[in-house]
Structure 1
Amino acid sequence: MTNAVSPEISTILMDKVADWLTHSSLAGDDLETMVRGFCERLAAAGMPIARVHLSFSMLHPLYDALGFTWERGSGMRVEGFRQKPGQSSDRFTRSPYYHLLTNKLDHLRRRIDYSGPSEFPIFDDLKELGITDYMAFRHLFNAGKDQGMMGSWSTDAPSGFTEGMIAALLRVQNHLAVAAKMAVLNRLADNMLTTYLGNDAGKRVLSGNIRRGQGDTIRAALVMADMRGSTMLAEQEGREAYIDTLNQFFDAIAAPFNRRGGQILSFLGDGFIAVYPCDRHREPSEIACRAALGAAFKATARMSVLNENRKRQGLSEIGYGIGLHVGNVMFGNVGLNDRLTFSAFGSAVNEVQRLQTLTKKYPQNVIASQDFATYCGGGWITLGREKLRGVKEKLTILHPDATDISEQDDDGTFEISYDGVSDAEQLMLLLRNDGGAGMDSGNGKAVQ
């Protein structure tokens, strides 16, 4: 614990913390950098803070909330989890946050009583840290309650928080909320662009590459994949079941192409196009093509697992085709002046699409051009020469030798665990739902 005498909190130093938040916000710092810097400066200013927990709702297609836990001398832990439907966690419903939200309170303060049972489960954890005083709060970013900040301050000062400390925390809390909202909005813009456009295209747009016709000519390994028999599946399964099937298909076949330099550029109905940008030299082209081929092997294996699962459920198998090619593509903005899309286009894109359609003619699911196979090396089976629509010369088309599949290493990065939901997500879902209906199951940890 800290010294028995409660320190006087310097207004000047606390103002410096607030000023730093303003500068951090104007500089466009990310939320993690801002929260870590804030907590360290808060402690450096003389506030006897031992632990800080902050949670921010995030308008993101994949992630719902971010949580930050800072402990003096231990640094900061960050959590960000996807939403998973389930039941309310009993531990969460017995938390200070739940009490604060369900009673529509802005603040909740408790002295930690070591002589009897804890009012909330989290207090048992705080006792191990020597915490003497605890304050939880919520701060909405707007009236719609779709974004906001919640958190808690904990001190191990023997006398707890003084009135001066509480006043200083309330003041700096307002500055933190403003700065955090800016960081959340910046993160939102980045999240949306990278989720819907891809990482590289999203960065290009954020950096100002937004004029129609603006872009670059790049060299890339190209991948085009498509589902077979989607119309029949849609008729057989119905709308909701078909959408679920389509997402399962993309999870299985597309995820490997969004790693190791690959980018899913766009989803086209029940298919997609991916690119592996590379320099205009042999070695970078070899690296890009081999990465694309490795992803194709993984996608093939994942589709086998998916179809085995569907077979056990009495569902029909999902057919697919993958085309592989390499070439120069134009990468940039096309469309209308007031409605643009960021995409790759050019003859190489048309050719990889034609290669993909040849999987309807041949029994193989993966077909590549001679140029792609040459850069990859390894074993290939020549299928023949085909005249592609729009291409003058016939192209030699090949299929990768299945014996090479075992040589591809699994990087173990594709599967995402959905076990448990973070405290941050639970409290932000409750904040949005205004009462906790349909809350997710917890991960067994105490809510902060």
Structure 2
Amino acid sequence: SMLHPLYDALGFTWVRGRGLEIESFRNEPGAPSDRFLTSPYYHLLSNKLDHLRRRLDPSLPSEFPVFDDLRLIGVTDYLAFVHSFNGNASQGMMGSWSTDSAAGFSDSMISALLRIQNHLAMATKMAVLTKLADNMMTTYLGGDAGRRVLDGQIKRGEGDTIRAALVMGDMRGSSRLAETSGREIYIDTLNQFFDAVAAPFNRKGGQIMSFIGDGFIAVYPCERHRSQSEIACQAALAAARSATARVTDLNLRRKEKGLTDIKFGIGLHVGNVMFGNVGLTDRLTFSVFGSAVNEVQRLQVLTKKYPHSILASKDFASYCGASNWLTLGSEELAGIKQKLTVLSPDLSGALAVDEDGALEPVYDRRSDAEQVMLLHRDAARLSAGDPSKLQ
């Protein structure tokens, strides 16, 4: 089992002659099938056993459905085990050993395999600790920032001045929605907004630095010369077009359910920013700061004034090719000495479903181990009188 917001578990399967296969399994909505209820792992968990051993006799009915699959590859003997970490039944390792030897496992082999389980569990846990740390840093800080923190950039004031294309996004009408709808509806709508609008800015060179209430800030770091600035700004503009397409698709689906449209505003800018740690000595945040960040934030606010959901500075537009931009005028931004020329991109080609398939969810299949661990977890919560937390 893995500590990750998207993935429940990592699966490692080794078959002689095929080598090792590693799979990450996402949490997929839906009730588990009867196959999982009749699996060896669930049998172990529900009966509080640490292992079971079965000889597979082709002349007898299979005790567990998976035995039918194992027989097809010649398995004659099977040993399954469960090892929890720190007594936590939902965090640990489960697995099995199989052999196609005609004689099966000898008693000494079984004893040896059971004897090494503690060592195997410890080695497995240690092997994934680095991956777990990387998962958490990437999830909460973003890829680049997470790597910097893991590499030791953890002191207040540490950081670099970088050039980057900057994106500031915000959902419109969220305050009214929070006041007129329940908590679950509000959070679900906010997550739909982030899935539609923010997700495109977290790929192809972009990284979301932080979520601020119902908004977000993203950066596309680049070198300090024109060609790299063009690549960064054009990638950010492509993501803005993708976000527009995704919102269009999302709102069509929401309309079918009788829900109101989600509206948004995005500011696009380019400039030098400080990229690093600020905060208290013992409580820091890793983000971007500087006058360029203030400017992109004010550009985003201007989408409330103009009838355009995406606004950009002249500097940003110049790196994207200004022929497809509508100049709206010059604005005197609060706290900014010079007026900023504001433009809006032509979004006429952003009405089709984007290359990601818009908002169609993609789920990896869930492993048998994940299914039974979730069943065991839910059963424990139900017995503890907490059915509200069942999946």
Which TM-score band applies after superposition, normalised by the shorter structure? over 0.9
1:350-361 equivalences under 5 Å are 350-361=294-305
Whole-Å Cα distance in 1 between the matches of residues 227 and 115 of structure 2? Answer: 57
Whole-Å Cα distance in 2 between the matches of residues 207 and 434 of structure 1? Answer: 41
Whole-Å Cα distance in 2 between the matches of residues 313 and 235 of structure 1? Answer: 21
Match for 1:149 among 70, 86, 93? 93
Match for 1:280 among 221, 224, 233? 224
Match for 1:78 among 18, 22, 28? 22
Give 1:271's aligned residue: 215
Is 2:169 the counterpart of 1:222?
no
- Contact kept, 8 Å, 2:42 with 2:373, in 1: the verdict is no
Is 2:299 the counterpart of 1:363?
no
1:48-447 equivalences under 5 Å are 57-377=1-321, 379-405=324-350, 410=355, 415-418=360-363, 420-433=365-378
Whole-Å Cα distance in 1 between the matches of residues 159 and 364 of structure 2? Answer: 41
TM-score, scaled relative to structure 2: 0.93
Give 1:51's aligned residue: none
TM-score, scaled relative to structure 1: 0.81
- Contact kept, 8 Å, 2:37 with 2:372, in 1: the verdict is no
Q: CA deviation at 1:66?
A: 1.4
Q: Which amino acid aligns with 1:428?
A: M
Moved more, 397-406 or 342-351: 397-406
Whole-Å Cα distance in 1 between the matches of residues 40 and 380 of structure 2? Answer: 14
Count of aligned residue pairs for this structure pair: 385
Q: Which amino acid aligns with 2:27?
A: Q
Q: Percent identity?
A: 69
Q: CA deviation at 1:242?
A: 0.5
Whole-Å Cα distance in 1 between the matches of residues 245 and 207 of structure 2? Answer: 20
Q: Calculate the aligned-residue CA RMSD, in Å.
A: 2.2
Moved more, 301-310 or 273-282: 301-310
Structure-2 change in CA distance of 1:78 and 1:192 (3 Å)? same
Whole-Å Cα distance in 2 between the matches of residues 433 and 406 of structure 1? Answer: 43
Q: Which amino acid aligns with 2:30?
A: G
- Contact kept, 8 Å, 1:86 with 1:440, in 2: the verdict is no
**SS of structure 2 residue aligned to 1:286:** helix
Query: Which ranges in structure 2 are unaligned for 5 or more consecutive residues?
Result: none
**SS of structure 1 residue aligned to 2:328:** strand
Deviations 1:224-259 (A, max 9, x none): 000111111112212111011111111111111111
Structure-2 change in CA distance of 1:415 and 1:205 (3 Å)? farther
Q: CA deviation at 1:389?
A: 1.3
Q: CA deviation at 1:401?
A: 1.3
Query: Which ranges in structure 1 are unaligned for 5 or more consecutive residues?
Result: 1-56, 442-448
Structure-2 change in CA distance of 1:375 and 1:407 (3 Å)? farther
Query: Which one has more relative contact order, counting CA pairs under 8 Å at least 6 apart?
Result: 1
Q: Which amino acid aligns with 1:271?
A: G
Whole-Å Cα distance in 2 between the matches of residues 403 and 246 of structure 1? Answer: 26
- Contact kept, 8 Å, 1:66 with 1:424, in 2: the verdict is no
**SS of structure 2 residue aligned to 1:291:** helix
Q: CA deviation at 1:168?
A: 2.5
Deviations 1:287-309 (A, max 9, x none): 11111111100101111112222
- Contact kept, 8 Å, 1:429 with 1:436, in 2: the verdict is no
Q: Which amino acid aligns with 1:425?
A: E
Q: CA deviation at 1:420?
A: 4.6
Deviations 1:61-110 (A, max 9, x none): 22221112111111223232232343231011111111111111101111
Whole-Å Cα distance in 2 between the matches of residues 419 and 327 of structure 1? Answer: 39
Whole-Å Cα distance in 1 between the matches of residues 297 and 216 of structure 2? Answer: 10
- Contact kept, 8 Å, 2:42 with 2:376, in 1: the verdict is no
